[in-house]
Chains A and B, each alone.
Chain A
Amino acid sequence: MAAPRLAVFKFASCDGCQLSLLDCEDELLKIAEKVEIAYFLEAGPRDATGVYDIGLVEGSITTPHDAERIREVRAQCKYLVTIGACATAGGIQALRNWGDAEEFARQVYARPEYLKTLATSTPISDHVKVDFELRGCPVNKHQLVELISSLLWGRTPHVPRFSVCVECKRRQVVCVAVARGVACLGPVTQAGCEVICPSFARECFGCFGPKEQPNLISLGMRYRDDGHDAEHLTRLVRSYNGYAPEFRDFDPQSLKDS
């Protein structure tokens, strides 16, 4: 059997998720033995012909051109995987969805009329069918390797949808919300980051997006009662995954009294 052809595509993003793939180092050599890396501009290969077995898509859709291009990418890829917060939830640039993109452009650029940009930053799944999502800002390299390994072995990738707390506790990390009183998004955020922030006594700020069935209202009320005001909570939840539906729908201003 011929090695599966892999392509990596970039849309509006910082390239950090592609870097996570390059950061696989040892594993990358093994991946290159098993997979034909056909199209990966950041690393070199640019064989833009034909069909790819696996397409990894980084970045969100922010321009009319990208909205067209993602359809072509979808048509070229048998199995399309979005990698990272931008591709799965619109990314930090989706903050424009609460503002006025034209006004932002006028503030920043001398000649904004040269820009062709959409009013919103949207996830890939708003535009085409996505077969699998890898969360994170950036994605976790072990999850990337698991994704590719699972496809080679013919199974669905093991990417749990449970909370960051599960990983914190498996690592015996002391809960920063309970022991320090900080507003931590761990209980509503999907695991996968290897709990980098809580390991350094910092709160989780939701890089991996909402967990399965997150309860932001209950957590928000608790943090509000602990003295974290609505503005703080809004800022906390509206970041890398702010436009993910469960985070987007959470409005700390409207929390009722418990």
Chain B
Amino acid sequence: MTSPPANPWQVMMTTVRAVTTETPGVQTYDLTFDDAAVTYSFLPGQFNMLYLPGVGESALSVSSDPGDSTKLRHTVRVVGNVTRAMARLRSGDKLGVRGPFGTAWPVDDVRGKDVIVAAGGLGLAPLRPAIYHFIRHRSDYGRVTVLYGARTPEDLLFANEYDVWCAAGLDVQSTVDIGTHDWHGSIGFVTTLLARLTLDPARTTVFTCGPEVMMRFIAAGAVGRGVSASQVFVSLERNMNCAVGLCGHCQFGPTFVCKDGPVVTFDRVRQLLLVENF
């Protein structure tokens, strides 16, 4: 990993190389660094602050392969000021980057174990780097299962990759909240996929990312099946402004989500997740 710049505010400029529409309102931006001297690498689950001059910054997880340093990709949904302006970017446009920041999915610590990757909606984006890692190092892991839910079939993110992931030896199961006439797959929440899964709790780790309520149910479901709460990892979303623990916005109890998170163990946050508006 690169060492952080001495000045946490300094931005590295990148060029947008491609903009791909994934699902309605969600686009993937391929970026390359303008300064050839920049050696950038990240760990799966980490995020960058993406900066559009004149508009502002937004904290966004990296969605590309951590093993391929030639590509930096972010998969982004329009939700606010910066992401709305980003949607206007075209190939050749400039985007600033600070990062990478935050904790990662502990892919090295769970070697030899079964891994359940449970994602909802855009929550698959920060998990895709971990999926790529499992594929690159397939023999290091036991069963790897991807459980993924979206609102409708057309909201299923990275749908054209599922076959590749399956071919690489992953079990990929998807579900939607609302089906369509040509949808023959599962209907229901990701939690129902988890409930149907046979698992060996002693050798299972869960990585989950999605709406907070979904992660809570996935985590509770896994713990209910005997998985240790310290082996369930969630990725939290809070307001990130400085990304280095200096601005105070992202606090969740004792956790600075920007530096102690976004990936944390469920047992660290399970009590506080139950407190409304905390």
Asked if A and B form a direct contact in the complex, defined as CB atoms under 8 angstroms apart, the reply is yes
Nearest B residue to A157 via CB reads B81
Nearest B residue to A156 via CB reads B81
B59-82 at interface with A (beta carbon < 8 Å): 81-82
The majority secondary structure among interface residues of chain B is mixed
Does B85 sit at the interface, judged by CB under 8 A? Answer: yes
- Complex: how many Å from CA A153 to CA B54? 6
Least CB distance from A147 to B in Å reads 14
The majority secondary structure among interface residues of chain A is loop
Chain B residues, CB < 8 A from A156: 81
B40-63 at interface with A (beta carbon < 8 Å): 54-56
Apart from the given pairs A154-B88, A155-B85, 11 other A-B contacts in the complex at a CB distance below 8 Å: A153-B54, A153-B55, A154-B54, A154-B55, A154-B85, A155-B54, A155-B55, A155-B56, A155-B81, A155-B82, A156-B81
For the side of the interface on A, what is the size category?
under 10
Least CB distance from B22 to A in Å reads 23
Chain A residues, CB < 8 A from B85: 154-155
Chain B residues, CB < 8 A from A154: 54-55, 85, 88
Nearest A residue to B54 via CB reads A153
> Can you list 12 pairs linking A and B with CB atoms under 8 Å apart?
A153-B54, A153-B55, A154-B54, A154-B55, A154-B85, A155-B54, A155-B55, A155-B56, A155-B81, A155-B82, A155-B85, A156-B81
Binding site for A on B (CB under 8 A): 54-56, 81-82, 85, 88
Nearest B residue to A155 via CB reads B55
Least CB distance from A111 to B in Å reads 54
A144-161 at interface with B (beta carbon < 8 Å): 153-156
Chain B residues, CB < 8 A from A153: 54-55
Chain A residues, CB < 8 A from B81: 155-156
Least CB distance from B85 to A in Å reads 5
Chain A residues, CB < 8 A from B88: 154
Chain A residues, CB < 8 A from B54: 153-155
A135-178 at interface with B (beta carbon < 8 Å): 153-156
Nearest A residue to B80 via CB reads A156
For the complex of A and B, the 4 pairs showing the least CB-CB separation, nearest first, are A153-B54, A155-B55, A155-B81, A154-B85
Most buried by B among A153, A155, A156: A155
- Complex: how many Å from CA A154 to CA B80? 12
Least CB distance from B208 to A in Å reads 32
- Complex: how many Å from CA A153 to CA B81? 11
- Complex: how many Å from CA A154 to CA B55? 7
- Complex: how many Å from CA A154 to CA B78? 14
Chain B residues, CB < 8 A from A155: 54-56, 81-82, 85
Chain A residues, CB < 8 A from B56: 155
Nearest B residue to A153 via CB reads B54
Chain A residues, CB < 8 A from B82: 155
- Complex: how many Å from CA A33 to CA B54? 18
- Complex: how many Å from CA A136 to CA B56? 26
Least CB distance from A13 to B in Å reads 30
- Complex: how many Å from CA A153 to CA B56? 10
A98-143 at interface with B (beta carbon < 8 Å): none
Least CB distance from B88 to A in Å reads 7
Nearest A residue to B53 via CB reads A153
- Complex: how many Å from CA A60 to CA B269? 51
Nearest B residue to A152 via CB reads B54
Least CB distance from B19 to A in Å reads 16
Mask: chain A, 163-199; 1 = CB below 8 Å from B; 0 = not = 0000000000000000000000000000000000000
Least CB distance from B204 to A in Å reads 44
Least CB distance from B241 to A in Å reads 13
- Complex: how many Å from CA A154 to CA B85? 7
Least CB distance from B7 to A in Å reads 23
